[in-house]
Amino acid sequence: MRYIAAIKLGLKEILAYRFEVSFWGIIALMHLAVWYFVWSAVFGYAGTTVIRGFTFQQMMGYYIASIAVDHFTFTDVDQDITESVRTGTLFKDIIRPFNIFLTYISQNVGYKILVAITQGIPLALIAIFVVGIKTTPIHFVLFMVSLALAFLLKFSFAYLFGMAAFWLTKTGGLFRIKNGVQKFLAGAVMPLSLFPAGAQAVFAFLPFQYMTFVSVQILLQKYTIAESIIKILIQILWIVIFYAIVSYVWQKARKRFEVVGT
């Protein structure tokens, strides 16, 4: 199967960087440490044990889960596309008999296998034994589904941005803005439930919270099973929407390959 092959290729490619990848695990732990100190200070300063319904322990539970989700759904396919457009090596994907979008997803899934080992395992161990996150088997299964969907959603969004390289000469700044805004609105910086109700109502209509926040909430049992399933369906809806836009833009981008990439 050609897409399984792409997964294997992705894994082989990322293994060429195994040294760098092992650092990602350390970076994830450093993120967690930073948030530990920030919130210790906030709780200490406020002198309360509960802030907006979060105990300190629950807050750490949120961060460890959101860091795990954020790292696991990470993709730099936007930069990959920019680079292969810029260097013209995109030609190799165009002359091969496969769907390029699906191939890139599969390759990214290959990367995830290594990420799951280097970051997933340490984070999971800390989550269970240090922070003491508890969940039910059914919530865990729903979480895994929504995690996979969060990845697909983030990927489609990044892919869409990556195609900007067909029109713009420099995309670095654009991607940085995208990543910052996305991280914030996805709830990877702060739990979205800390925001005022009005803001949360707006977030509900944006795709971002389905990239991190929703998956975390499912894991932490903030939603009932029925609510979780509805959130998952909305994730799927967003993926379908983005995939449709990606396909449409790709048709246009493809014709611009001669301008930028040959």
Interacting residues toward ligand ATP by CB under 6 A: 258, 262
Structure tokens at 235: 């994730």
* Helix, strand, coil tally for the chain in percent (to 5): 80, 0, 20
**Cβ distance to other proteins smaller for residue 8 or 183:** 8
- Determine if 17 is a binding residue for other proteins (CB under 8 A): yes
Q: Contact with other proteins (CB under 8 A): which of 23, 30, 33, 95?
A: 95
Backbone angles phi, psi at 115, to 5 degrees: -60, -40
CA distances from 256 to 85, 98, 243 (A): 10, 20, 20
How far apart are CB 148 and other proteins at their closest, in Å?
22
How far apart are CB 74 and other proteins at their closest, in Å?
19
Backbone angles phi, psi at 205, to 5 degrees: -95, 0
Question: Which residues lie below 8 Å from residue 209, measured CB to CB, with a gap of 6+?
Answer: 185, 186, 187, 192, 203
Q: Are 103 and 3 in contact (CB under 8 A)?
A: yes
- Determine if 197 is a binding residue for other proteins (CB under 8 A): no
**Cβ distance to other proteins smaller for residue 8 or 178:** 8
- Determine if 8 is a binding residue for other proteins (CB under 8 A): yes
How far apart are CB 257 and ligand ATP at their closest, in Å?
8
Task: Measure the CA–CA gap between 28 and 22, rounded to whole angstroms.
Answer: 10
Which of ligand ATP, other proteins, none does 181 bind, CB closer than 5 to 8 A by kind? none
- Determine if 113 is a binding residue for other proteins (CB under 8 A): no
- Determine if 251 is a binding residue for other proteins (CB under 8 A): no
CA distances from 144 to 49, 120, 147, 216, 231 (A): 31, 12, 5, 10, 13
The window from 3-11, 25-33, 132-140, 213-221 that contacts other proteins (CB under 8 A) reads 3-11
How far apart are CB 90 and ligand ATP at their closest, in Å?
13
- Binding residues for other proteins, rule CB under 8 A, total 27
Q: Which amino acid type is present at position 208? A: F
Residue 226 CB: number of other CB atoms within 10 A?
A: 8
**Footprint of other proteins on this chain (CB under 8 A)?**
1-2, 4-6, 8-9, 12-13, 16-17, 87-89, 91-92, 94-99, 255, 257-259, 262
